[in-house]
């Protein structure tokens, strides 16, 4: 947060482009990290996970996260397992911001989970989700893009429902998946607790309210993760064929609106990655570009060079 | 369904009581199963899981399920692990009734999951949830009790949103957890797919639309389950103490409404079981009692004897 307020001293030029080569974004992330003394190996690993998020269309978890102590997309780790023919699972706790059903204040993070499973050829199932209605990054992106958010995503600092991302981000909170108690928000809350049990509680690290809040970036977050890999061939052969058939069953359901086909987890991200490939670059919102320009000035590194 | 229509020939008497000893309900379930030729060992196991549901207040998964091919409460299996100091997980696929985001028709079951973890003393975490907004049984219980259901639970057979449980049960469908795409119903759908991957796909059994629909009770359901047990002491000592502390953190959050404290998964069920203990019996809705009376007449067994 200190970094954010310092770097807003710089006013970006008017003529910034919005499309950037993948390699150029990686170069920028590595340079930013190197300028802060991060070892090259770690800087490259961070660049890969952040840029993968942008390539997959999860802008909330990509370049937008540069400098923060962030796990990146939970799917990054499970896709590594799926590429090797395994079912992968990953979980991380995060700083408390989710309000459990009936409570005034948060005691849990957005605690995301990911499950990936390989199918035939390049196809795969990649579920990657916060256990809140939406990830905090979606609210931040709504703010960055000057958009209202739907009711049922978050609360302001008084615990009132709000559609203003700025009110939610100003010490406000997020709701668990389900949104209301009548729509089983205790399930989203329970899933968030499950993630905390597998991360902080299981490992003996900080958990729940013992975790640092997100507004204190000067202290380490001290988050915990849990990773699982299962070899499906241990149970029965033909797993990848059944996966493809099952996903195609779902994809081929008759849609309510013919222009919006049914998608399985991983499909929107795969489509986005294909677009980046055919465009030969990632297209960013101009506000994201401005922010990266300010960061470059602040850190004294070359700004992103557009296509 | 054939059984249901046959047994409605019998008109129950007017003076039926609604409170029943746990042992008497178990006796009734075993007798009903025995009359159909089920071996005593299996009949007793079924009686235990069904009566446990009623004791825990999940009437949708208790006596109400007698005769159906039903897994019972998913938490039954995970509590067995937690009683032994382990983290337990259980998953089952079910017949397709959940409509994925954007689809007109269902291709997935309510696919419940349960996670249980032991805490200090008799305390424990027991998450037991369908990956739909609500379990089908909640809709059936709403119908049994002649109550409307909230919007966002289910659709009628034309795929229109409805608050009439009868319209939903008449070849209608349920929505995935999240309810609407704007509130991330693809997460509930993705979790349901995850359960199917761990059950039907992993084991090589039927899955998705290959499963029998719930309206064809003459053929076996051929469902699959997945069970996981993790020994937390493998990772760090003191797990149960941290669990108690974490759950108490959540329970002690200041509530919006002081008369409705924050609960963690398993708390409402524990409170219900304590009520059954102090009442020395389970209290059923009169319509459930009438149905059990009709079943007794149909099967030629002694009806439930009330307290």
The reported pLDDT for the residue numbered A19 is 93
To which H or E segment does residue A284 belong?
A: none
Q: Is the pLDDT of residue A135 over 90?
A: no
pLDDT in tens, A46-63: 999 999 999 999 888 888
Q: Report yes or no: B182 at the A interface, CB cutoff 8 Å.
A: yes
* Cβ proximity of A175 and A134 under 8 Å: no
The reported pLDDT for the residue numbered A65 is 82
Spell out, as residue ranges, where chain B has pLDDT lower than 70: 1-8, 68-69, 214-218
Q: Report yes or no: B197 at the A interface, CB cutoff 8 Å.
A: yes
Give just the sign of the alpha carbon dihedral B295, B297, B300, B303. positive
- Taking the CA of residue B205 and the nearest CA in chain A, the distance in Å comes to 9
The reported pLDDT for the residue numbered A7 is 65
Lowest mean pLDDT among A164-178, A208-222, A268-282: A208-222
Q: Report yes or no: A149 at the B interface, CB cutoff 8 Å.
A: no
Q: Report yes or no: B262 at the A interface, CB cutoff 8 Å.
A: yes
Average pLDDT on A69-90 reads 93
The reported pLDDT for the residue numbered B215 is 56
pLDDT in tens, A7-39: 667 888 888 889 999 999 999 999 999 999 999
Beta bridge partners of B91: B113, B226
CA distance B185 to B205: 26
Lowest mean pLDDT among A120-134, A204-218, A267-281: A204-218
> Does the distance separating the beta carbons of A127 and B250 come in below 8 Å?
no
Counting residues of chain A whose pLDDT is more than 90, the rounded percentage is 76
In order, the DSSP letters of A92-134 are E---S-BPPTTBSS--B----EEEEEE-STT-EEEEEE-SBSS
> Does the distance separating the beta carbons of A184 and B183 come in below 8 Å?
no
Q: Is the pLDDT of residue A4 over 70?
A: no
Q: A246, A247, A256, A264: best mutation site toward chain B, by most B Cβ within 10 Å?
A: A246
Q: Is the pLDDT of residue A292 over 80?
A: yes
pLDDT in tens, A239-251: 999 999 999 999 9
Q: Report yes or no: A178 at the B interface, CB cutoff 8 Å.
A: yes
Average pLDDT on A69-76 reads 85
> Does the distance separating the beta carbons of B196 and A246 come in below 8 Å?
yes
Q: What is the mean pLDDT of chain A?
A: 91
Beta bridge partners of B128: B114
The reported pLDDT for the residue numbered A221 is 76
This complex has an ipTM of 0.92
pLDDT in tens, A101-111: 889 899 999 99
From the number of C-beta atoms within 10 Å of its C-beta (0-12, 13-18, 19+), residue A177 rates as: buried
The reported pLDDT for the residue numbered A6 is 65
CA distance A93 to B248: 18
């Amino acid at each position: 947060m200190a970094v954010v307020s310092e770097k807003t001293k710089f006013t970006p030029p008017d003529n910034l482009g919005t499309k950037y080569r993948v390699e150029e974004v990686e170069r920028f992330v590595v340079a930013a990290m190197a300028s802060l003394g991060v070892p090259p190996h770690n800087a490259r690993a961070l660049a890969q996970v952040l840029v993968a998020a942008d390539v997959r269309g999860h802008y909330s978890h990509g370049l937008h996260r540069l400098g923060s102590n962030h796990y990146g997309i939970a799917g990054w780790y499970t896709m590594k397992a799926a590429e090797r023919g395994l079912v992968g699972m990953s979980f991380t706790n995060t700083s408390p911001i989710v309000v459990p059903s009936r409570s005034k204040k948060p005691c849990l993070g957005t605690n995301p989970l990911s499950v990936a499973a390989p199918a035939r050829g390049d196809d795969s199932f990649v579920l990657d989700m916060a256990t809140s209605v939406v990830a905090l990054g979606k609210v931040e992106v709504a703010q960055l893009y000057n958009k209202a958010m739907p009711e049922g995503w978050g609360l302001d600092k008084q615990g009132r429902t709000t559609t203003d991302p700025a009110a939610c981000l100003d010490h406000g909170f997020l709701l668990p998946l389900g949104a209301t108690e009548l729509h089983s928000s205790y399930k989203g809350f329970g899933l968030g607790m499950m993630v905390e049990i597998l991360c902080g509680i299981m490992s003996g690290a900080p958990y729940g309210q013992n975790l640092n809040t997100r507004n204190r970036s000067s202290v380490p977050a001290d988050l915990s993760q849990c990773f699982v890999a299962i070899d499906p061939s241990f149970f029965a052969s033909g797993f990848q064929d059944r996966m493809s058939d099952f996903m195609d069953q779902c994809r081929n359901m008759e849609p309510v609106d013919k222009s919006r086909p049914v998608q399985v987890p991983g499909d929107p991200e795969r489509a986005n990655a294909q677009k980046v490939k055919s465009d030969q670059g990632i297209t960013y919102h101009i506000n994201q570009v401005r922010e990266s320009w300010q960061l470059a000035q602040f850190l004294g590194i070359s700004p992103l060079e557009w296509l």
